[in-house]
C-alpha cells in the first residue's frame, strides 16, 4: 500500500490493487440486506483480498459480521459525508490486504459497534464467540481519542495495555488510524496537525515496533504531507521528475536477473520505489539525489540459504559497497524483520541498494505481527480454555513486555507519556546474558543500571557495581550486544540509588524505579554539606554508590552499634562514609538532618567544611578504647595507586579476600598515563587487621601505594 497523497506522480513499478471507491461501497451498503447464500457486494473486495492470503478461509462469519455492522451503523454518517459503514469496511480491507486472519477481520468490522451503537459485548460474544468479543472489547476500551494534551497519555496507556494482552488489538487500531489519516482533510488544519503529531510520536513508532512496515510507511507519508507541506511538495516534484523510461534501476535489475538465472538461482527481482519520507531522508543525507536513490532492488527467493547464494553471486559479479552490507537474517531486528542488505555498483558507476529475503520474510517485513496469524490458536486436541486478561503471547517482543511492566509503575500521566515517547524512539535492541543462563533484552545504549533493574526490580536500589564479561565494571558502563552481565548488590537492603543513576538509565523501568525511590525519600535526592560525609571522589552511581547511601539508610531502620560514644546518649551515631574512621583515629562529630550525629576522622576535609559554615562540633570518642562494631566489624575506605596491567583488579580483589575483608563497594577510575586509581570501601572483622590488609594490597605487583581515603567535601 502507498499513501493516498503519494499515489499521484509516484512511479508505478509493479501491479497493485487499485484504491477502493469508498463512496460507492457506502451506497452499496445502504441497499439493505442481501440473500443469505451470497456475500454482500460491499465486502467482496475484502473477501478477495482475504482469500489471496487464506484460500480456505470460511467467509460466513465475515458476512454475518458485516450484516450486523451495517444494520447497527445505518443512518450514521462520517464528517466527510460518507455512510459510517465505509470506515469499518476500509479498516477491514487494509487488514485483509496485509494478510490478517478471519478472526481479526471479523473484529475489525465490528470494532465500533459496541462503542457507537446499541450492540453489546454480550451480543458479540453470543454471535461470534469469545475471541472476537475479546478483540472488540480491547479496541472499545481505547475509547474515543480526545486529542487534548491531558487526555492523550491516558488514552495511549489504555492502548498499550490492550495491545499487550493481544497484539491484534493494536493491528486494528493502526489500520483504524491509517484510514482516519487518509480522510483527515475534512478537519480543521489545527486538528489535522494535532492528530498528525500524535501519530508521528506514538503510532508510527508502534507500527515500526510491531513490524507493520506497510502501515508505517503510509502513515509517515500522510504525516509528512500535513506537518511539512512545502518539503512534501518538493519531494513529490523530485519523484515525478525522476519518472521516465531511462531508469538506471531497470538496467541494474535486468543485469541482476540474468546473473541469477545463469547461476541457476530461482529468484524474483523487483524494483521497490522509496516512499516520500524515505526519499526526503536520502536527500537530506546526500544532498544531490542520484537516479538510483528513488528505489531499491528487492530479490525474493524460496529458502534462507538462497539468500546467501544470491549475496555471493552479486558480490562476485558486481562491485559491492561493503559498508552497506547488513545481515538481518542471522541477527533479526527487534520487530521480527529479516533481510540481507547490500549495495552494488552497476553500469556507469550507478550504485543500487539491494534487499534479499525469502517470500515469507517479505510477508513478515510488510505486515509484521499481522502476518503471523492468530497467536492464540489452540491445538484442537488440547483442552479448551477461556480467554483471560493474562495471556502468554508468543509473538510479543521483549520491548512490549517491558513497556507493560513499567507502565504499571508510571502513575503520573506526564511521566508515562514522556517515557513512552523516549522508549519508542529507541530503534535498536541488544541482548545481554545473565550468569544464570538467562537473557535480558535492552535498548541499545543501556547501561549496567538498566540491567540491574531489569533483573532484580526494586532490589536494584542496592546495586554497587557489576561484572561485565567477568570483569568488575561501574554501573555507568554501557553494555554491548552479547555481553554477560552480573549486577552486584550490597548486603544492606536499606541502601538507595544515587541521583546520578538517572544519567545512565535508558530503560523506562529503571528511570521510573529510581524516580519513585526519590519521591519516597525526598531528603536523599539532593546531598548538601550535611551529607558530605557520604560522598566520595568518584561519580555517584559508580560502584561506591552503595557506601554513600548505606550510612543514612541504616538510620531509617534504627540505630546500629558503631563503637562510638557522643555527648547525647540517645542520638543515632553513624560513621562517615567519606573517611570511614577506625580505631585509633581521633574523632569529631556533627549533628546532621534528623538529629543524627555523623562522626569523621579529625583530619577529614569534611570537618573543615562543616566548621566553615558554622556547624558546631560534637565530642566523640571510641567506646572503652576499642570502638569495634560488635556485629559487623568496622568499615574503612582505602585508595590503591597502581600501574595498569592485565589481571590487576583480580589480584587486588584476591588480596582483599585473603585478608578476610569484604568489599562493600569499589570504584576504578579511567587510566591516566598508565596509572590507575582504585577506591575500595571494605568491612573488616576487626580494626586491628587494617595494617596487615594495607600491606597485602601493597604487595600486589604493580601497586605502588595504598592509603586511607581523604575525600574532599563540598563547602557551603
CB atoms closer than 10 angstroms to residue 310: 25
Cα-Cα-Cα-Cα dihedral sign, residues 514, 517, 522, 528: negative
**705 in catalytic set:** no
H or E stretch at 320:
strand 319-320
Nearest to 635 by CA among 543, 547, 553: 547
Instruction: Say whether 344 sits in a helix, a strand or coil.
Output: strand
Choice among 4, 7, 112, 115 that is catalytic: 115
Strand residue runs (E) in 410-560: 429-434, 439-443, 463-468, 471-473, 484-489
User: How far apart are the two ends of the chain, measured CA to CA in Å?
Assistant: 65
Q: How far lies 516's CA from each of 150, 403, 555, in Å? A: 22, 17, 20
Q: Which distant-in-sequence residues (6+ apart) come within 8 Å of 609 by Cβ?
A: 529, 532, 713, 714, 715, 716
**Hey, how many other C-beta atoms are within 10 angstroms of the C-beta on 494?**
15
- Name the one residue in this structure whose C-alpha cell is 524515505: 278
Residue 587, strand partner residues: 601
Is the bond into 584 cis (omega within 30 degrees of 0)? yes
CA distance 131 to 101: 12
In sequence order, what E strands does 435-583 have? 439-443, 463-468, 471-473, 484-489, 564-566, 573-575
Which grid cell sits at 315?
558480490
Q: Any idea what DSSP says for residue 542?
A: B
Choose among 579, 606, 599, 594: nearest CA to 521: 594
Q: Which residues contact 622 (CB under 8 A, 6 or more apart)?
A: 563, 564, 565, 583, 584, 587
The set of cell numbers assigned to 555 is 538510620
Task: Report how far residue 560's alpha carbon sits from residue 549's, in angstroms, rounded to the nearest whole number.
Answer: 15
Nearest Cα residue to 483 out of 506, 513, 450: 450
Handedness of CA 468, 580, 548, 679 (dihedral sign): negative
Quick one: cell of 280? 526526503
Residue 522 has phi, psi (to 5 degrees) of -60, -25
The residue among 105, 94, 260 whose CA lies nearest residue 168 is: 105
Q: How far apart are CA 138 and CA 121, in angstroms?
A: 11
Q: How far apart are CA 248 and CA 271, in angstroms?
A: 11
Question: Of residues 56, 58, 97, 116, which has the active-site annotation?
Answer: 116
| Neighbour-count burial for 568-593, b at 16+ CB within 10 Å, e otherwise | eeeebbbbbbbbbbbbebebbbbbbe
Q: Which three cell numbers stand for residue 364?
A: 513478515
Q: CB–CB of 588/566 below 8 Å?
A: no
Look up residue 54 and give its three cell numbers.
Answer: 487464506
**CA–CA distance, 606 with 453 (Å, rounded to integer):** 33
Note if 115 is an active site residue: yes
Question: 658 burial class (0-12, 13-18, 19+ CB within 10 angstroms)?
Answer: exposed
Give the C-alpha separation, 223 to 233, whole Å.
13
Paired sense of beta strands 587-591 and 597-601, if any: antiparallel
**Active-site residues: which are they?**
115-116
Amino acid at each position: 500500500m502507498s499513501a493516498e497523497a503519494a499515489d499521484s506522480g509516484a512511479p508505478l513499478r509493479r501491479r497493485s490493487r487499485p484504491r477502493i471507491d469508498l463512496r460507492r461501497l457506502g451506497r452499496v451498503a445502504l441497499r439493505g440486506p442481501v440473500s443469505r447464500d451470497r456475500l454482500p457486494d460491499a465486502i467482496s473486495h475484502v473477501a478477495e483480498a482475504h482469500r489471496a492470503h487464506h484460500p480456505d478461509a470460511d467467509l460466513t462469519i465475515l458476512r454475518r459480521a458485516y450484516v450486523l455492522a451495517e444494520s447497527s451503523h445505518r443512518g450514521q454518517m462520517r464528517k466527510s459525508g460518507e455512510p459510517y459503514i465505509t470506515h469499518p469496511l476500509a479498516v477491514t480491507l487494509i487488514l485483509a490486504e496485509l494478510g490478517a486472519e478471519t478472526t481479526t477481520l471479523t473484529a475489525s468490522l465490528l470494532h465500533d459497534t459496541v462503542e457507537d451503537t446499541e450492540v453489546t459485548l454480550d451480543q458479540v460474544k453470543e454471535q461470534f464467540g469469545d475471541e472476537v468479543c475479546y478483540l472488540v472489547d480491547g479496541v472499545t476500551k481505547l475509547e474515543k481519542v480526545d486529542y487534548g494534551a491531558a487526555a492523550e497519555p491516558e488514552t495511549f496507556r489504555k492502548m498499550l495495555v490492550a495491545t499487550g494482552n493481544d497484539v491484534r488489538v493494536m493491528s486494528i487500531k493502526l489500520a483504524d488510524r491509517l484510514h482516519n489519516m487518509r480522510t483527515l482533510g475534512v478537519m480543521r488544519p489545527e486538528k489535522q496537525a494535532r492528530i498528525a503529531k500524535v501519530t508521528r510520536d506514538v503510532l508510527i513508532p508502534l507500527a515500526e515496533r510491531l513490524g507493520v512496515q506497510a502501515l508505517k510507511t503510509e502513515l509517515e507519508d500522510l504525516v509528512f504531507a500535513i506537518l511539512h507541506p512545502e518539503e512534501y511538495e518538493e519531494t513529490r516534484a523530485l519523484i515525478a521528475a525522476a519518472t521516465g523510461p531511462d531508469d538506471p534501476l531497470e538496467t541494474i535489475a535486468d543485469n541482476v536477473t540474468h546473473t541469477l538465472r545463469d547461476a541457476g538461482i530461482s529468484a524474483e527481482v523487483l524494483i521497490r520505489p522509496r516512499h516520500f519520507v524515505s526519499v526526503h531522508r536520502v536527500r537530506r543525507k546526500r544532498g544531490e539525489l542520484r537516479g538510483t536513490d528513488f528505489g531499491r532492488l528487492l530479490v525474493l527467493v524460496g529458502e534462507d540459504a538462497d539468500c546467501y547464494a544470491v549475496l555471493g553471486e552479486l558480490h562476485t559479479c558486481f562491485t559491492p559497497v561493503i559498508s552497506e552490507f547488513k545481515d538481518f537474517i542471522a541477527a533479526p531486528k527487534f520487530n521480527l524483520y529479516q533481510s540481507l542488505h547490500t549495495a552494488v555498483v552497476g553500469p556507469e558507476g550507478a550504485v543500487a541498494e539491494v534487499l534479499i529475503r525469502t517470500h515469507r520474510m517479505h510477508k513478515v517485513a510488510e505486515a509484521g505481527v499481522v502476518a503471523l496469524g492468530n497467536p492464540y490458536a489452540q491445538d484442537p486436541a488440547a483442552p479448551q480454555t477461556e480467554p483471560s486478561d493474562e495471556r502468554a503471547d508468543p509473538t510479543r517482543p521483549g520491548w512490549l513486555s517491558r513497556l507493560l511492566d513499567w507502565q504499571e509503575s508510571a502513575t503520573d500521566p506526564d511521566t508515562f507519556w514522556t517515557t513512552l515517547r523516549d522508549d519508542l524512539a529507541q530503534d535498536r535492541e541488544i541482548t545481554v546474558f545473565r550468569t544464570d543462563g538467562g537473557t535480558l533484552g535492552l535498548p541499545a545504549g543501556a547501561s549496567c543500571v538498566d540491567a540491574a533493574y531489569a533483573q532484580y526490580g526494586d532490589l536494584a536500589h542496592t546495586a554497587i557495581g557489576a561484572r561485565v564479561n567477568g570483569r568488575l565494571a561501574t554501573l555507568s558502563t554501557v553494555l554491548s550486544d552479547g555481553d554477560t552481565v552480573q549486577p552486584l548488590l550490597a548486603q544492606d537492603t536499606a541502601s538507595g540509588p544515587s541521583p546520578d543513576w538517572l544519567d545512565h538509565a535508558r530503560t523506562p523501568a529503571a528511570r521510573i524505579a529510581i524516580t519513585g525511590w526519590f519521591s519516597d525519600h525526598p531528603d536523599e535526592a539532593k546531598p548538601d554539606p550535611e551529607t558530605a560525609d557520604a560522598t566520595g571522589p568518584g561519580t555517584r552511581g559508580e560502584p561506591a554508590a552503595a557506601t554513600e547511601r548505606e550510612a543514612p539508610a541504616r538510620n531509617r531502620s534504627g540505630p546500629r552499634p558503631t563503637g562510638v560514644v557522643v555527648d547525647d546518649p540517645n542520638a543515632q551515631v553513624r560513621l562517615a562514609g567519606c573517611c570511614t574512621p577506625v580505631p585509633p583515629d581521633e574523632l569529631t562529630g556533627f549533628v546532621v538532618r534528623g538529629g543524627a550525629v555523623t562522626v569523621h576522622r579529625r583530619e577529614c576535609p569534611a570537618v573543615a567544611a562543616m566548621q566553615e559554615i558554622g556547624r558546631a562540633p560534637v565530642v566523640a570518642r571510641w567506646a572503652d578504647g576499642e570502638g569495634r562494631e560488635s556485629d559487623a566489624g568496622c568499615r574503612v575506605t582505602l585508595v590503591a595507586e597502581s600501574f595498569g596491567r592485565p589481571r590487576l583488579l583480580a589480584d587486588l580483589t584476591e588480596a582483599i579476600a585473603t585478608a578476610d575483608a569484604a568489599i562493600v563497594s569499589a570504584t576504578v577510575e579511567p587510566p591516566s598515563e598508565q596509572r590507575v586509581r582504585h577506591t575500595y570501601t571494605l568491612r573488616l572483622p576487626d580494626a586491628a587487621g587494617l595494617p596487615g590488609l594495607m600491606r597485602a594490597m601493597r604487595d600486589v605487583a604493580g601497586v605502588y601505594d595504598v592509603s586511607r581515603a581523604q575525600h574532599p567535601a563540598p563547602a557551603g
